[in-house]
Amino acid sequence: MALEDAKSAVDTAFTRETLRGCSFENTFGGATSFLRRRYTKDLSGVDIAVTGVPFDQAVTNRPGTRLGPRAIREASTLQAFDPPYGWDFNVMDEFDIVDFGDLAFDYAKISDFPDALTNHIRSILNADTATVTLGGDHYITFPILKAYAEKYGPISLLQFDAHTDTWADDDMDRIDHGTMFYKAVKMGLVDPATSVQVGIRTVNDDTLGVNIIDAREVHETGPAAVVAKIKSIVGSNPTYLTFDIDALDPAYAPGTGTPVWGGLTSAQAAIMLRDLAGINMVGGDIVEVSPPFDTTGATAIAGAHVATELLSLWGATRRKT
């Protein structure tokens, strides 16, 4: 640890001079940007923008995920000192990463929210910058996918979740965090044949052709076998990775709106995310962290680790070696 830096560094979210490198600011002080990256709206030369979407008005049970981006940023301060464990490179050293801040939207005019989010992500992608989004409930992935499909065409969806979120709903304007991937498939945003949902442990009779690796399969065959299966399905296709924190068992992530027992362990998730290196991940998100139900902060900590792994996954195939 750079002790001298720790003695003098403060508010590096605003004061840091470079977009690269670890940060040695005290974890318990200062402005809490994600991984202490610089807060900026300037995307000149930026590789990845981390952005928050504090929206939770599509939930079917417990609310609170509007506070998720703030909690994940705070939890991430403990990771800013060191290279992400298990990788052969430090994404913070090799790529220009910024915290783009949160989406602004009118909380009292929910009908305008989807287009506002699509436009927000579109503006980042138009700058040739990728996104890692901090949610927010899982509905937010649907407007994000619209922007990504505009750029890449129908993409592969790699979803870690307790629920498929493909329950039928042909009202494309309805805002619900359990039906958005049904809509994404029906609208041609997602190619179901090359998409995978991991950790599923709730019943949905029609999964629209999306490949399912349920939680029991993960437990019985192990993370390495699951990763091999995922890679054989998504291939080299542009892939969007969405991680619903309820993919983890409530023992590891209690702070979420729709917890389901029998889920993944944090160790299984960590192994899979690291071993997925090599897939063509073009963007991703971490959703459904609900701080009001996260009494120890464990769920936000898990969310911060997931987001850091997403950064590393994106960087793994884009390094200049």
Instruction: Confirm if 198 and 282 have CB atoms less than 8 A apart.
Output: no
Q: Give the pair of three-digit tokens for residue 156.
A: 């592969």
User: Quick one: pLDDT at residue 7?
Assistant: 78
* Whole-angstrom distance, CA of residue 175 vs CA of residue 289: 19
Q: Spell 12-43 as b/e; 16+ CB within 10 A means b.
A: bbeebeebeebbbbebeebbbbbbbbbbbeeb
| 68-76 helix and 298-316 helix, angle to the nearest 10 degrees | 70
Query: Which residues of the chain are under the pLDDT cut of 70?
Result: 1-5
With CA atoms as reference, report the closest residue to 19 among 102, 130, 125, 93.
93
Instruction: Confirm if 249 and 266 have CB atoms less than 8 A apart.
Output: no
Spelled out in words, what is the top-level CATH class assigned to the domain 3-316? alpha beta
User: Quick one: pLDDT at residue 320?
Assistant: 85
Q: Give the pair of three-digit tokens for residue 293.
A: 């139900």
Instruction: Confirm if 257 and 288 have CB atoms less than 8 A apart.
Output: yes
pLDDT above 70 as % of the chain: 98
User: Quick one: pLDDT at residue 2?
Assistant: 54
User: Quick one: pLDDT at residue 1?
Assistant: 43
Where do the structural domains in the chain lie, given as residue ranges?
Answer: 3-316
Binding site feature residues for Mn(2+): 138, 161, 163, 165, 244, 246
Q: What is the DSSP letter of 140?
A: G
pLDDT tens-digit profile of 189-235? 999 999 999 999 999 999 999 999 999 999 999 999 999 999 999 99
Q: CB atoms < 10 A from the CB of 156, how many?
A: 27
